């Protein structure tokens, strides 16, 4: 049976569906993740690009340069502004989904790694079994 999960933005206009298991699930406290979420960390759920289908609504795009010096193309609902998804220069062929935008059952995936630990708040503890990195492993900012 196919492993399908759906999610969407706050206003409900943008809806998406993912197929299969994520390729990678990261927790991240980089500047971009804390800004886009307004929180202490982002939950980044990466799929192969072809495993994400957008069902309704309109997305707007914004491109910026990450803490690691690479571009991030971020997409959000043009109506309510929920940041839902992005693509990254350093992960070609993949699409990140904002973990908290999945419908119930939310957080059905297992985080594997915590990146940008150096900007993680002291009061936030990392779950057991999650690999920790000061920056982005494999980049100059590691």
Residues 69-128 that bind Zn ion (CB under 5 A): 77, 79-80
d(CA 67, CA 29): 11
User: Is omega for the bond preceding 38 within 30 degrees of 0, making it cis?
Assistant: no
| Spatial distance between the Cα atoms of 95 and 78, rounded to a whole number of angstroms | 19
Kindly indicate which of the ranges 3-11, 95-103, 121-129, 130-138 contains the residues binding Zn ion, using the contact rule CB under 5 A.
Answer: 3-11
Is the CB of 79 or the CB of 139 nearer to Zn ion?
79
> With contact defined as beta carbons under 8 Å apart, do 97 and 91 qualify?
no
Q: Does 30 bind Zn ion (CB under 5 A)?
A: yes
Cβ atoms of 7 and 15 closer than 8 Å = yes
* Binding span for Zn ion by CB under 5 A among 4-12, 15-23, 85-93, 100-108: 4-12
Residues engaged in binding Zn ion (CB under 5 A):
9, 11, 13, 28, 30, 33, 42, 77, 79-80
């Amino acid at each position: 049976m196919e492993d399908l999960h759906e999610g969407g933005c706050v206003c409900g206009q943008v809806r998406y569906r993912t197929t299969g298991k994520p390729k990678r699930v990261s927790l991240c406290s980089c500047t971009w993740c804390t800004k886009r979420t307004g929180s202490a960390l982002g939950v980044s759920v990466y799929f192969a690009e072809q495993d994400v289908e957008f069902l309704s609504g309109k997305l707007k795009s914004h491109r910026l340069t990450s803490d690691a010096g690479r571009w991030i193309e971020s997409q959000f609902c043009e109506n309510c502004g929920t940041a839902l998804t992005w693509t990254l220069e350093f992960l070609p062929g993949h699409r990140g989904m904002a973990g908290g935008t999945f419908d119930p059952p939310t957080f059905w995936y297992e985080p594997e790694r915590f990146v940008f630990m150096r900007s993680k708040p002291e009061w936030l503890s990392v779950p057991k079994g999650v690999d920790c990195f000061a920056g982005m492993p494999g980049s100059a900012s590691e």
